[in-house]
Amino acid sequence: MSTPRELATGRYVALGRLRWLRGVIDQLGLLPVLLIGLLLFFSIASPNFFTRTNLSTILTQALFLIIVSVAQTLVLLTGGFDLSMGSSIALVSIVVGLQLLDHPDAPLTGLVIATLAAIAVATGIGALNGLFVSVFRVPPFIVTLAMMTAVSGLALKVSRGVPVFGLPGYFSGTLYTGKVLGIPVPWFVMVLVLLVMYLLLHWTRFGRYWYAIGSNAEAARLSGIAVRFYLFLAYAIAGVLVGVTGLLLTARVGSGEPTLGASFPLESIAAAVLGGVSIRGGEGNIFGAALGAVFLVMLRNGMDIIGISTYTQLIITGALLVAAVIIDNWVHRER
């Protein structure tokens, strides 16, 4: 009488044997394995790789990409993506630079205004993206491509194509080399971002709804979820994170740059996909994406050290991205 049930259970147990392997890949991608492999390879290939200085350089470089990748993951989870993050960072950088020039001698006022401006600009851009995607139902690719173009133009127009130099010293002194609780400020912010986003995605309704929308928007609507609102919110919150990145990055380079962050949109998508975030939405998590970002930066750093030319590096990175998508397909294929 219960034979069909036994059969079904039998099938499930059988899958169980392969499940742990697929489960690991499902959660993090092949990344932990690849990352260790990469570490070993470069450590053997060059004595200059596995040093305290170099590893700290890698992590400092990776930090900005990590935050953007987390933002990108949020949007990817809902089944979209955001190409405008790079030009958004550029505009933030210019606006922050111009604001700071008005407050050369008032560190507190300058920092508060710069921070608010950065977040306002990038959140505004994210919110506009969200509005077009959710209310007007324009495909994310089109919306964010158009936004990327327009915002990039705006950044160049506002700055007249030249960087904003002469930022007050307190800016980088606080937001790049400054420390909170003994930790450099950018690090502190990154950890905070990871923590808050983890809570939001895995311990609140918001996260459940985003995953649900990315998995099946129609089913989400029938489950009573205000799909359009949550879609909008995802793009807007991603905007907040992009604003934070723009601010920190400007502090790092020490000037307002009209082309800052241009490589971030594609690199963040690559990092997320490498980290097991599905480009179809509804699958993956921010830690995978963060690890993906570390992987990409480490790969570039290691190739630099062993003397692979920049052009060859691009080819290798491109090939790796395709490989990552193939792996993504393999893990997520329907049985």
Partner 1 sequence: MAELLRAIEVSKRFPGVLALDRVSFELRAGEVHALVGENGAGKSTLVNIFAGSLHPDGGTIELEGRPVQIRSPHHAQELGIRAVFQHLSLVPALSVAENIFLGRELTTPGLLRKPAMQARSVAQLGLFDAGISPTAKVRDLTVPQRYLVEIAKATLERPKVLILDEPTASLTDRETRVLYDLVRELRGQGVGVIWITHRLEELYEIADRVTVMRDGRHVATLSVHETTTDRLITLMTGREYEQIYPVLQPVPESAAVVLAVRGLTTAHGLRGVHLRLRAGEILGVGGLIGSGKGFLGRALVGLEPITAGEIELFGERIPLDRISPHTLLERGLMYFPADRRHEGLFTNRPVLENMTIAALEQFQRAGGILDKRRERRILTEYIRRLAIVPPNPDARVRNLSGGNQQKVALARGMIRTTRVFVLDEPTQGIDVGAKIAVYELLHELARQGAAVLFITSDMLELLHVCHRVAVMFQGELVAIMRHEEVSEERLLQYYFGHTREEVGRTGVDAA
Residues that bind partner 1 (CB under 8 A): 1, 3-5, 7-15, 17-18, 199, 203-205, 208-209, 211-212, 215-216, 218-226, 278, 282-283, 332, 334-335
What are the CA-CA distances from residue 101 to residues 152, 168, 197, 265 (Å)? 21, 7, 33, 28
By beta-carbon proximity to partner 1, the closer residue of 48 and 223 is 223
The two tokens of residue 215 are: 């998995």
By beta-carbon proximity to partner 1, the closer residue of 266 and 331 is 331
**Shortest separation between residue 207's beta carbon and partner 1, angstroms:** 9
How far is Cα 74 from Cα 82, in angstroms, rounded to an integer? Answer: 10
Q: Which residues contact 9 (CB under 8 A, 6 or more apart)?
A: none
Q: What value, to the nearest 5°, has the Cα angle with vertex 269 and ends 237 and 208?
A: 45
What are the CA-CA distances from residue 187 to residues 163, 192, 327 (Å)? 26, 8, 31
By beta-carbon proximity to partner 1, the closer residue of 80 and 163 is 80
Q: Are 118 and 247 in contact (CB under 8 A)?
A: yes
**Shortest separation between residue 117's beta carbon and partner 1, angstroms:** 29
How far is Cα 199 from Cα 178, in angstroms, rounded to an integer? Answer: 27
**Shortest separation between residue 1's beta carbon and partner 1, angstroms:** 6
By beta-carbon proximity to partner 1, the closer residue of 42 and 81 is 81
Q: Are β-strands 183-184 and 179-180 bridged in parallel, bridged antiparallel, or unpaired?
A: antiparallel
By beta-carbon proximity to partner 1, the closer residue of 23 and 318 is 23
**Shortest separation between residue 122's beta carbon and partner 1, angstroms:** 24
**Shortest separation between residue 17's beta carbon and partner 1, angstroms:** 7
**Shortest separation between residue 217's beta carbon and partner 1, angstroms:** 10
DSSP string covering 273-329: HHTT--TTSS---HHHHHHHHHHHHHHHHHHHHTT--HHHHHHHHHHHHHHHHHHHH
How far is Cα 78 from Cα 227, in angstroms, rounded to an integer? Answer: 10
By beta-carbon proximity to partner 1, the closer residue of 182 and 224 is 224
**Shortest separation between residue 329's beta carbon and partner 1, angstroms:** 13
What does residue 17 show for φ and ψ, rounded to 5 degrees? -65, -40
By beta-carbon proximity to partner 1, the closer residue of 15 and 319 is 15
By beta-carbon proximity to partner 1, the closer residue of 60 and 215 is 215
**Shortest separation between residue 192's beta carbon and partner 1, angstroms:** 17
The two tokens of residue 225 are: 């979820």
